[in-house]
Structure 1
Amino acid sequence: MSPFLAYEDKGDKRDTDVSSRVPLVLVHGHPFDRTMWAPQLTAFSTDRRVIAPDLRGYGSSPVTPGTVPLARHAQDIEELLDFLGVDSFVLAGLSMGGQIAMECYDRFGDRVRGLVLADTFPDPETPEGRRGRRAMADRLLAEGMRGYADEVLEKMAAPYADPEVKAHVHRMMTATAPEGAAASLRGRAERPDYRPLLTRVTVPALVVVGADDTYTPVADAEAMHAALPDSVLHVVAGAAHMPNLERAEEFNEVLGKFLTEVDSRS
């Protein structure tokens, strides 16, 4: 049976060096797709297996109208990894993808060897935030993605970011199906509080944030770092909400060191 999600699965599994290293699973944010991870797929698939799905409602994966909670996204990832025969892995997520990674850890944390939380936060939604996400979902269904993409582009990638990076971010946003984006916004509005979960994480964690991120400021990353029992915090200067694209070389260097540490423990 074919998996529900579209995905990239890179790295030659027959290569001894690749198979001896812990696979890396990359979970994109909203409203993006798996091409968000292009620099990481290129950099890390030379010596390990790297898997990057399109979440339900994004990229080439099917759209489910209505409401798609974070738990549904986590279940989709679990089912994909079962299909691919990936028993243990490092799990990395950015923004909404980070919240999905936390949900995944809650559901099947015994399979996670390392956790990477980038430009995200664990707090539950506020009443005002719930109203705002539901209103945005309605707006996207009524107006489409372009107006929203134009408005938030320079909060996603900083105004000073490389024009090619900004163009890539804008393309991903405008290519997203409004129905898929709206369904995840409604689901995200109902997310649980992941702060207690962080204190129970038993694997090494890496917390990364862009210094100029206004969606998830450095203070949010510092709070996660403080809550996690075994974590490293890295602040990427010269980046906003998407340091993996804006400062890909630095992001990859930090992630690479973390993966080497996880490999050594495994």
Structure 2
Amino acid sequence: MSVQLYARDVGGGTPLVLLHAFPLSSAMWLAQREGLAARFRVITPDLRGFGGSVLGEDEPSVDAMADDVARLLRRMGIDRAVIGGLSMGGYVAMALCRRHPDRVLGLLLADTKAAADSEQIRDTRLRQAERLEAEGTPQVLVDEVLPLLLGPTTMRQRALIYGRVRGLIQSAPARAAAWALRAMATRPDSFDTLRGTRAPALVIVGAEDQLSPPADARAMADALPNAELLEIPRAGHLAAIEQPDLFNQVTGEFVSALARTLR
């Protein structure tokens, strides 16, 4: 069953699609919409089941999520876009490169990894999915995921950001979060996809990211034929929220350089 994604669509110019982290929604990209829409067309979809998008009846898979995004672009009349994803959004962006490479004008991978889950991480995701379904609330995500999302600097100095991320997690629908956990747990290794990706790429990582540390970012940048790697200081796994000005600066430079090559 095809799902029609809800998306916020602001600005004009080169299309930049930003895919959100788990278990958040496109609301996480507020600072990017505000900071980048004067220069680019910024499109921030809610991935299936989150925010304003319905879940549908498909089996959990990152491929289904990527196909949703490709359908959204077709519906909007966009042939090619810069595809960006943070964390889970990065997994979806890599699946797009594998399944719809002709859609990818440029690739932005932030705080994510190309390797498939280890057995231990897979087991944790499946256990969390079961608890989400049994309890019907996102409490397990507040207990277990939230503490890993933000870097120590943010936790010490930026209580408002902690509160905002906590609120986004608390509004995650339990059924959609369980579906997404199962989708991530079964996703394939993406290193071959990256090695075959011809589009220019930017890999961003928070220096304090515990979930997808800088070594994972380096491995992705090394696999991509045409990639730049940037580390953002004082940021954990949600660099776009923790250090939005820096994130917007490097993203803006990347998309502007791409846009110049098209003229």
Query: For residues 60 and 126 of structure 2, what CA distance do their matches in structure 1 show?
Result: 12
Give the 5 Å matches for 1:43-192.
43-64=35-56, 67-143=59-135, 144-161=137-154, 162-192=158-188
Q: Secondary structure at the match of 2:82?
A: strand
Is the counterpart of residue 9 in structure 1 residue 1 in structure 2?
Answer: no
Structure 1 spans left out of the alignment, 5+ residues = 12-17
- Residue 73 of structure 1 aligns with an amino acid whose one-letter code is M
| Percent sequence identity over aligned pairs | 37
- Residue 6 of structure 2 aligns with an amino acid whose one-letter code is A
| Alignment deviations for residues 233-264 of structure 1 (CA, whole Å, 9 cap, x no partner) | 01111000001010001111111110111111
* 8 Å contact kept, 1:65–1:179: no
Aligned match of 1:26: 18
Seen in structure 2, the aligned counterparts of structure 1 residues 66 and 202 have a Cα distance that, compared at 3 Å, is closer
> What root-mean-square deviation, in Å, do the aligned CA atoms of Structure 1 and Structure 2 show?
1.6
Q: Secondary structure at the match of 2:153?
A: coil
Regions of 4+ moved over 6 Å: none
Aligned match of 1:14: none
Query: For residues 127 and 103 of structure 2, what CA distance do their matches in structure 1 show?
Result: 37
Seen in structure 2, the aligned counterparts of structure 1 residues 260 and 91 have a Cα distance that, compared at 3 Å, is same
Query: For residues 216 and 249 of structure 2, what CA distance do their matches in structure 1 show?
Result: 22
- Residue 160 of structure 1 aligns with an amino acid whose one-letter code is T
Is the counterpart of residue 236 in structure 1 residue 232 in structure 2?
Answer: yes
| Alignment deviations for residues 69-105 of structure 1 (CA, whole Å, 9 cap, x no partner) | 0011011111111111111110000001001000011
- Residue 248 of structure 1 aligns with an amino acid whose one-letter code is P
Structure 2 spans left out of the alignment, 5+ residues = none
Length-normalised TM-score, structure 2: 0.93
Shift in Å, 1:44:
1.2
Count of residue pairs brought into register by the alignment: 257
Query: For residues 123 and 148 of structure 2, what CA distance do their matches in structure 1 show?
Result: 21
Shift in Å, 1:136:
1.0
Seen in structure 2, the aligned counterparts of structure 1 residues 29 and 259 have a Cα distance that, compared at 3 Å, is same
Query: For residues 131 and 152 of structure 1, what CA distance do their matches in structure 2 show?
Result: 14
